[in-house]
Structure 1
Amino acid sequence: MKSEAVFSYHERTKHRPERSAPAPETMDWANQPEPFRFYRGAEVTRFDPEPDACGLSALELFAGPPPSPAPVTTENLGRLLRYSLGLAAWKSYQGATWALRVNPSSGNLHPLEAYVLMPEKKGFSVSHYSPFLHGLEALHTLDGENTHDTVQGVPLILTAIHWREAWKYGERAFRYTHLDMGHALSCLTFAARMLGWSVQIMDGIGSDTLTRLLNLDQVSWPGWEEEKPICLLWIGPKPPESGLTARLEASVPSPCCTSPNALSANHRTWDAIDTVDEATEFPSHWAFAGLPPAPMAPRPPLVSAPEWPSGKATAESLLLKRRSAQGYIKETSRISLSHFKGILKSLMPGNPPFALLRQPSAIDLLFYVHNVEGLPSGLYLLVRTQKKARLMADLQRPFLWEEAVDDVPFYFLEPGDMRRLARLVSCNQEIAGDGAFALSMLADFEMTIQNTHYQYPLLHWEAGMIGQSLYLAAEMAGLAGTGIGCFFDDLIHEHIGLEFKAHQVLYNFTVGVPVRDARITTLPAYAHVDKL
């Protein structure tokens, strides 16, 4: 059964104190994958890398009514991509340079690619988005008719190249790829909000159809560099027209006239990734678990006072500012209760980006509180799933379950200094204990996967969305976050008394005052484009 393949993969790829998940023993630097995909022979349409500001403040990304919808134009599409999947900056140290993107990625390896289907009078034109060029590489067309005289929105397909992550992380790369998918979905949602647009995941269209629409089955490339389509999105000010997926399924792509660049000369095969990828492919006419598409709605206020340190900054500057902290200043890593409460509110289901999944939330958050003003240090739980009674039964420990914060289902479980525990369960990484707080994302796992095998990636998407919301909320509070993909799954389960596999941790995260490395120089994101 496909669900059994998922359970087997998840168990096999757990890190344990006595051994890590299967991964390369050394870094094969000669075969490090190229971080950017290019298509030889493609005509490139470049966007303006520094578009005018939309007028939205950073705080308005999180609270208040959405702005009036902007028209769907090439300029606004470029703005959306610039502040979701584009480059944020370049870094330089001792002659080495590397790019940072707006969307976070495990190890800065970026396994995702994006393809835009621009509506035309006859069907769609298919283009690959190049973050390096901040432009569209024209690939081919899809025949068909459009039913609207004006463009109502744009379909966008996200794909994955597992090899980019597997080069470093081995079998666990499938997990990290789908966490990155959640990061990207969150980034697209926040960037769309700047334009008064919304993002919708289009269920009802399978992986095989998306492969055909992108001509990925016609490309001759090494097997390990194969791209796998993940999902189809609709992005724009209005909902997609009725019958869009059926029209796409009936579309016929024109022949390939371009070819992608090679990413590595050699590779190492990880059969476990291929097995779980095949087991979790979206079938034709798949569907979410029952909630209708959520309209864009006003976001609840975070907190009224004190002022958020980055609240008056522009929305664009906040999205470009996000960084993964490399270390924290333990002595000053603290957060006010007001800002902490605002972060908790921003993580609750129903808000963008979480409404994107159109099904009940499956992830609760276990907090290791180190230094939150007004809260005792200890272990806490933010109940996002509305399943408190079940959690109380499943967590086989005599926890306190005391309400800790007004207006938020945040419960004090046990007092104590959790710094050592946070470090220990995060593969002994100091950063987990040096911040203001850390957390583990606890998924309603067994029941979810048994019911629908392709929910395994969706659980990671939700975890990645939570991660990106934490990144931005931390920046709003004058702090910085970092995702922790290396953790000892079962040590966390053991500490909270989980005796069964009903719940599983999918992602750890931590927030604090970052250490700034003055030796590293920050360079503009797109100064290189003028030299090409």
Structure 2
Amino acid sequence: MWQDWLSQRRRKSPVAAAQQNPERPRSGNRQPLTLRLHAETAQTAGRLQTMSTDVDWSRQPSIYKLYPTVARLALTEQIDCDFPDTLEVVQRLSPHAALAAPAAWNLETLSRLCYYAYGPTAQQALPGATLTLRAAPSAGALYPAELYLALRGAAGARNGVYHYAPGEHALELLRPADWIAWLADAAAELPAVAEADAVFAISSLWWRTAWKYGPRAYRYCLQDCGHLAGNVILVAAALGYTATVVYNFVDEPVNRLVGLSSAQEAVQILVAIRADRAYRPPPRGAPDQPAPLALESLPPMQPDAAVDAILPAAGATALREPAAVQALRRCPAALVTETEHRQLQSPDQAPLLRPTVPVSLCQSLLGRRSSHQFKPAPLPGDALSAIIQALDVAYATDSAQGALELVMIVIRVEGVPEGAYRYDAASRGLILERAGNLSEWAMHLSLDQAFCAAAGAVIFFAADLGNLVQQCGDRIYRNLHLEAGLRAEAAYLVAHALGVGCTGIGAFYDLETVRFFNLPETTAIIYELAIGTPA
């Protein structure tokens, strides 16, 4: 019984228990490659003890990619800040929500889209260095994601495929002409792509994170891409546009279009944006096969053993034909648990909690920072409710939603008894699984990071990863990590608007967390958020 296991754990320190019960990855040649990498990179007390803490900072790659030989289109330097309230925009993500009048589709609007999604927003002084922070969070501020976009019909910008250079706040033209029909073919003729005015392609440059974090960096790279995709759809909604997240597409044509070698960098997710709500038939037929791009990019890539370890799993997620794309879109979401109403603490429903002074989305994008210190003061219960609603918000996508579930440890939240909970999306309530002060567990499961014990709550994303990958294929592994980052981004920004501290955590004791919440053994923890009163 799980209660017996938990009582045994309480009779010894969490660290000692972890050392006596090591978490071993499954073995076997038939195990899907993504599940194998996930198991091999699971955090355990034993692995942490043998892991070197020395970081060779001389090996750190630049966080900026540039194409020095291509034409560069400078974007608007003066960025105004007149977006709607953050909480209003998050609610607007619903595919059925009413949209504001769309902004003019022109170069100034493109500037806002790119800057608020991924532009540099602050500089932080460190011993011997200055750290540049961006609108989207990133594990270790390493920023492995790159932003590309295919444009059509934007005043002041010729049709083409571009790379966004954040350091210069400029678009670098990689290919002229309208290539959106080509992307629609890769997306198995998804109407949202075929009718789009822009398609954002978000890639991951593996080396930029793997040099520091090793093969587990694969998870962080995907989550970072999800955070960036979340910003793109939120900024698009603030501009009155329709945005659709596209998880499933044939990979090779997309990578070829933007000139990427998947052994170094590969597109992970697309966001199709329709600026004009008036229907117009999309152009028929894709352009001819794109010629190979022989463009120099800086800095040059370097070999890395950690990247080599990532590539088999990353390659296994690739889809190779439209039929595979369509089949994956039909694959149902498998839930981790069934609803059992033991004790229900219903969070407030709609609308989301409004701050006394409304905070615009651009203020949240510019001001959002990860909090690594919390005051041991209780969070308002409606703040937790608003953050949970942001994590559960519906948005337009080509993929089934609902495979990610939320479990959490509530430590100090007004009106919510401390304990371990599961969020039931059907009733939009919290189901109590275990009562009591679990702050020590919140800290321990989060790799013994002390600030988590002072949090108001720690929230874990869980998924039935074993069954989902077996049923739907390796691509679902990639999609779940992307979706976790996207949903976490909405929560990050809502937390900022409410004055709540928030930080994403990609490293935790994987299997111990599954066992603590009494989840099936096929379950995996995908991501973690800690929220609390900022110090």
Contact 2:153 2:197 in 1 (8 A): no
Deviation of 1:342 after TM superposition, in Å, equals 2.0
TM-superposed CA distance for 1:22, in Å, is 9.4
Aligned match for 1:234, one of 272, 276, 286:
272
By how many angstroms is 1:303 displaced?
4.2
Shift of 1:3: 6.0
Which one is further off, 374-383 or 200-209? 200-209
Instruction: Output the amino acid matched with 1:168.
Output: K
Partner in structure 2 of residue 421 of structure 1: 441
- 1:229 match: secondary structure: strand
**Counterpart selection for 1:459 from 474, 480, 490:** 480
Residue 399 (structure 1) aligns with: none
Secondary structure, counterpart of 1:512 in structure 2: strand
Aligned with 2:43: secondary structure? coil
Query: C-alpha distance in 2, partners of 1:43/1:468?
Result: 32
Gaps of 5+ in 2: 1-28, 93-97, 183-194, 333-348
Aligned counterpart, 1:208: 252
2:225 matched to 1:181?
yes
SS at match of 2:503: strand
Give the one of 90, 103, 115 matched to 2:123. Answer: 90
What amino acid is the match of 1:10?
H
- 1:10-25 mapped onto 2 (5 Å cutoff): 10-20=38-48
* 8 Å contact kept, 2:86–2:493: no
Q: 1:16 to 1:118 in 2, by over 3 A?
A: same
Q: Deviations over 1:12-53 (max 9, x none)?
A: 110011114997653121110110001111222121233333
Q: CA deviation at 1:269?
A: 4.4
The change in CA–CA distance for 1:489 and 1:291 in structure 2 (over 3 A counts) is closer
Post-superposition shift, 1:216? 2.5
Q: CA deviation at 1:463?
A: 1.2
Q: Is the 8 A contact 1:141 1:253 kept in 2?
A: no
Are residues 1:373 and 2:422 paired?
Answer: no
Please give the secondary structure, in 1, of the residue aligned with 2:161.
strand
Q: Could you say which residue in structure 2 is the equivalent of 1:528?
A: none
Counterpart secondary structure, 2:207 = helix
Alpha carbons 2:139, 2:220 under 8 Å: kept: yes
Check 1:44–1:437 CA distance in 2 against 1; reply closer, same or farther (3 A cut): same
2:288 counterpart of 1:251? yes
Match of 1:130 in 2: 165
Deviation at 1:130, TM superposition (A): 0.7
**Would you say 1:301 and 2:373 are equivalent positions?**
no
Residue of structure 2 equivalent to 1:295: none
Which AA in structure 2 matches 1:187?
N
When normalised by structure 1's length, the TM-score is 0.80
Partner of 1:364: 405
Residues of 2 paired with 1:303 and 1:37: CA distance?
38
Within the alignment, does 1:322 sit opposite 2:368 as a pair?
A: yes
**Secondary structure at the residue paired with 2:272?**
strand
Please list the CA deviations of residues 139-183 of structure 1 after superposition, one character each: whole Å capped at 9, or x if unmatched.
223577989xxx951122111111111111101011111111211
Is 1:504 aligned to 2:504, yes or no? no
Q: Secondary structure at the match of 1:449?
A: helix
Are the counterparts in 1 of residues 505 and 527 from structure 2 also a CA contact under 8 Å? yes
- CA separation of 1:433 and 1:258: change in aligned 2, threshold 3 A: same
Counterpart CA distance in 1 for 2:300 and 2:452 is 33
Give distance in 2, aligned partners of 1:472 and 1:144: 33
The one-letter amino acid of 2:493's match is: L
C-alpha separation between the residues in 2 aligned to 1:336 and 1:17? 34
Change (3 A) 1:117 1:438: same
Q: Report the 3-state secondary structure (helix = DSSP H, G, I; strand = E; otherwise coil) of the residue aligned with 2:32.
A: helix
1:377-526 superposed matches below 5 A? 377-384=418-425, 386=426, 408-452=428-472, 453-501=474-522, 503-515=523-535
Cα deviation, 1:60-116, whole Å, max 9, x if unaligned, reads 223464321123211111111111111121122455211111111111111111112
Where 1:40 maps in the other structure, the secondary structure is coil
> How has the CA–CA distance of structure 1 residues 434 and 242 changed in structure 2, closer, same or farther, with 3 Å as cutoff?
farther
Distance 2:364 2:495 in 1: 11
Q: Sort the Cα spacing of 1:312 and 1:161 in 2 relative to 1 into closer, same or farther, 3 A.
A: same
**Paired residue type of 2:375:** I
Specify whether residues 107 and 52 from structure 1 end up closer, same or farther in structure 2 by C-alpha distance, changes over 3 A only.
same
Tell me the CA shift for residue 509 of structure 1: 1.2
Q: Match of 1:8?
A: 36
Where does the alignment leave 5 or more consecutive residues of structure 1 unmatched?
218-222, 293-299, 387-406, 516-532
SS of the residue corresponding to residue 114 of structure 2 reads helix
Name the CA distance, whole Å, in 1 between partners of 2:230 and 2:163. Answer: 20
Q: What corresponds to 1:262 in structure 2?
A: 299
Change (3 A) 1:251 1:277: same
* Identity over aligned pairs, percent: 25
- Which stretch shifts more, 458-467 or 341-350? 341-350
Give 2:86's aligned amino acid.
A
Matched, 1:140 2:140: no
Q: Is the 8 A contact 1:460 1:506 kept in 2?
A: yes
| 1:63–1:255 distance in 2 versus 1, CA, 3 Å | closer
Tell me whether 20-29 or 84-93 shows the greater mean CA deviation: 20-29
- 1:71/1:489 Cα in 2 relative to 1: closer, same or farther (>3 Å)? same
Aligned-partner SS, 1:103: coil
What's the TM-score, normalizing by structure 2? Answer: 0.80
Per-residue CA shift, 1:307-365, capped at 9, x if unaligned?
A: 525x51222111211111122222x3x21122222222222242x3xx43531311111
In the TM superposition, residue 132 of structure 1 has moved relative to its aligned partner by 0.9
In 1, Cα distance between equivalents of 2:398 and 2:370: 25
| Local SS of the residue matching 2:397 | helix
C-alpha change, 1:431 and 1:49, in structure 2 (3 Å) is: farther
Per the alignment, residue 211 of structure 2 pairs with 167
